[in-house]
Amino acid sequence: MCYLFQLYSYLSHCQISMSVSSAYKRDLTKESFVSSSITTTSTLCSRDRSNFVNCIRYSPDGSKFITVSSDKKGLIYDGKTGEEIGELSTEGSHTGSIYAVSWSPDSKQVLTVSADKTVKVRDIMEDASGKLNRTLACPGTGGVDDMLVGCLWQNDHLVTVSLGGT
């Protein structure tokens, strides 16, 4: 889902690369990703994850970026230094893997979607914590096809994509 960003971890080496291209080639001899259009590269190591990172998104103002993962966490980092500065609140958190995240146009809220078939809108506070604003349940049969795997906050519209394509 997150084609503009790719996270790669290898033992003690972690690297986040932002690219305008989704075409990556893994070079095993150099233990890194190679892309012909990398615009920003930062070194960052974080051991705060117990499972895969599924999505990374920079805020529209570039001051922060957020990662969401299969461990049901959302971590917020400084956009320039890469230092962790906050975390989405565990109050009302997702009960399944978080697959995607999208920032509001003003960089003050985030939208997350999960395998638990819910959409969460969180306010990003001054201390970079994410406080639950609201939870939206998606209509459906309740089956695996209702798992939410993608999202986009476009102006005043919230768009979500389920595994079933709806």
List pLDDT tens digits, range 112-128: 999 999 999 999 999 99
Number of domains the chain is built from: 2
- Note the pTM of the prediction, 2 decimals: 0.71
CATH number of the domain that 68 lies in? 2.130.10.10
Same domain, 62 and 16: no
To which residue do tokens 């506070």 refer?
Answer: 125
Same domain, 95 and 140: yes
Same domain, 77 and 154: yes
SS3 letters across 110-164: EEEEECCCEEEEEEECCCCCEEEEEEEECCCCCCHHHCEEEEEEECCEEEEEECC
Least-confidence region, from 21-35, 52-66, 150-164: 21-35
Same domain, 58 and 88: yes
Q: Which residue has the higher pLDDT, 26 or 136?
A: 136
Same domain, 139 and 57: yes
Q: Report the alpha-carbon distance of residue 24 to residue 109 in Å, rounded.
A: 30
Same domain, 88 and 54: yes
How does the average pLDDT of the chain come out, rounded?
76
Domain coverage including residue 104: 49-162
Instruction: Answer for the pair 18, 65: CB distance below 8 angstroms, yes or no.
Output: no
Whether the per-residue pLDDT at 19 is higher than 80: the answer is no
Q: Is the dihedral of CA 159, 95, 134, 58 positive or negative?
A: negative
pLDDT per position as a tens digit, 76-85: 999 999 999 9
